[in-house]
């Protein structure tokens, strides 16, 4: 399912962002520019992240975030994968009082709620692979990111 929803124009390496909200705003604007989400998506994404943080600590002090929101804000399902130039602090899913440094963010824009569990499981399976995380963070182009993701998905 991940591969079906992944689009090269939504893979963005090395975004300059200072905060989690900067990353979410960038992603929402990107998805909106592609006609995939409604104008309400950005506020809903930021609000949900405040209420239900999505940062996951994978290695000591390093993590990944998987922001998403309700289907009513999405026109067509898609996944955006963004890396940041420098670490950005996201609050942790398992302990919202703690934060984790994140450079890899998977934004799930899903038009159907039933897709969420399967896609989250697939995404978590991907992010548990240290070599993939490193390759994505080091990728200089969307094409590099797509190649690494496709290779990893074919191994699952």
The confidence score (pLDDT) of residue 115 equals: 83
CA gap 149, 26 in Å, rounded: 21
Tell me: the pLDDT tens digits for 101-152? 999 999 999 999 888 888 988 998 999 999 999 999 999 999 999 999 999 9
CA gap 146, 75 in Å, rounded: 23
Quote the percentage of the chain above a pLDDT of 90. 85
Does residue 30 surpass a pLDDT of 90?
yes
CA gap 132, 82 in Å, rounded: 14
The confidence score (pLDDT) of residue 62 equals: 80
CB 24 within 8 A of CB 102: no
Look at residue 87 and give its three-state secondary structure: strand
The confidence score (pLDDT) of residue 156 equals: 62
Tell me: the pLDDT tens digits for 36-83? 999 999 999 999 999 999 999 998 768 999 999 999 999 999 999 999
Of 64, 53, 55, nearest to 132 by C-alpha is 64
**For the whole model, what pTM was predicted?**
0.95
Does residue 16 surpass a pLDDT of 90?
yes
Of 66, 22, 72, 68, nearest to 45 by C-alpha is 68
The verdict on domain 2-155 having CATH code 3.40.930.10 is yes
| Run of H or E residues at 144 | helix 142-155
């Amino acid at each position: 399912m991940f591969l079906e929803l992944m689009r090269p124009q939504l893979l963005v390496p090395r975004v300059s962002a200072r905060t989690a909200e900067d990353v979410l705003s960038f992603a929402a604007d990107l998805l909106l520019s592609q006609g995939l989400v409604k104008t309400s998506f950005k506020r809903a994404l930021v609000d949900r992240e405040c209420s239900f943080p999505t940062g996951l600590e994978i290695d000591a002090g390093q993590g990944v975030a998987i922001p998403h929101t309700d289907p009513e804000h999405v026109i067509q399902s898609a996944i955006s994968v963004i890396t940041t130039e420098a670490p950005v602090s996201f609050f942790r899913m398992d302990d919202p009082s703690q934060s984790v440094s994140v450079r890899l963010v998977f934004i799930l824009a899903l038009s159907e709620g039933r897709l969420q569990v399967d896609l989250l499981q697939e995404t978590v399976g991907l992010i548990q692979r240290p070599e993939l995380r490193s390759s994505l963070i080091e990728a200089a182009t969307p094409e590099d990111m797509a190649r690494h993701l496709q290779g990893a998905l074919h191994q699952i």
